[in-house]
Every structure is written in structure tokens, then in C-alpha cells.
Amino acid sequence: MKSEIPIAPSAPPQPLDELLNSAVVLNWEALTQSSTPGRVTVEYHIGADGTLEYLKLWNSAREYWSLICEYSAHLGWSDGPRFCNGYHSHSLARLLQSIFINQSLCTHDRGPNANGTLEVGPPTIDDVEVARLRVSETFQQTVTVRASKRSSEVRLRPAES
């Protein structure tokens, strides 16, 4: 059994909306299954304690909406996002988990028990580069402590983004 302890970096926190936007941009191909350019909508809820509580990603092509995935920080949910309607992206799942686990790296201007929504259109090459840089800068300094049950040795290594 491995235990992970996120350690917050000294870099300034990134806006939550920008990190969520970057997660969508970096996984655009997996989230838009049709040849028709659509939009991805991210709906999220900030809980009473001011942290990200849950989110849903929707794909909209023409006039149809399709749920891509949902993720909740509540106990009892599966370990990670739950994908729907034939969508799946391992890299998006890992990035959303990183955002949920390392919320100290994010800021937002929402009050407690508030909802947020953002829409993401087809990204340009520049959008992809900005998203890649934002995610890299946010998570590159995060250090994960992994303690192995079989070994008393503790190793420090950079967390994967």
C-alpha cells in the first residue's frame, strides 16, 4: 500500500477556472468525439468550506448535450472521475484528480455554496501551449512522498502532472 502526501509548492496559486479550462484544452480530442466543432461546458460547485466539491463536464454539439464525466470529492464515490456516454480520458482523469487533491494550488472568487460554469470552445495551438505551460507550472513543484509498505525507505519524487 502506498500513501501519498501532497506538499504545496511555493509558486503562487493558479485560478481554478484557468486550471479547469487547461484540463479541457489538453484533452480536447478525447472530449469531442464528433467531427462537428462543439463546446465543452464545465459546471462545478464550491462547498461550504470553500473547496471544490464536485464538477461535471458536458459536450455540446449542435443542439445536443452529452455528459462527459462527473467527479465528486464526497466519500463513497469512486476514486476519480466517472466517465459517461462512451467518453474516457486517462490523462483528464489524472489531471482532475490532481486538481481535487491539490486545491491549495488553486484560487477562486466564488463564495461558499456557490456554483461556477465555464465554456471552452475549440482550442488553438496557442491555447494548447498556454494550457500545457499553466499545468506544468502549477504541478511541477508539487512533491509526493511515497511510503511503501514493503520498505521503510521513503522516496521523494516530483508528482506527475
**Residue ranges per structural domain of the chain:** 13-123
Res 93: pLDDT: 94
The whole-number pLDDT of residue 80 equals 81
Contacts of residue 108, defined as CB under 8 A and 6 or more positions apart, other chains included, come to 15, 16, 17, 46, 52, 116
For the record, the C-alpha cell of 58 comes out as 458536458
CB 114 within 8 A of CB 139: no
> Which pLDDT score, from 0 to 100, does residue 10 have?
57
SS (H, E, C) the chain: CEEEEEECCCCCCEEHHHHHHHHHHHCHHHHCCCCCCCEEEEEEEECCCCCEEEEEEEEEECCEEEEEEEEECCCCCCCCCEECCCCCCHHHHHHHHHHHHCHHHEECCCCCCEEEEEEECCCCHHHHHHHHHHHHHHHCCCEEEEEECCCCCEEEEECCC
* pTM score of the predicted model: 0.78
Q: Which residues of the chain have pLDDT under 70?
A: 1-11, 34-36, 75-78, 141-161
What pLDDT score was predicted for residue 50? 93
pLDDT at residue 140, as a whole number: 79
Closest Cα to residue 111, out of 45, 60, 31, 27? Answer: 45
pLDDT score recorded for residue 11: 66
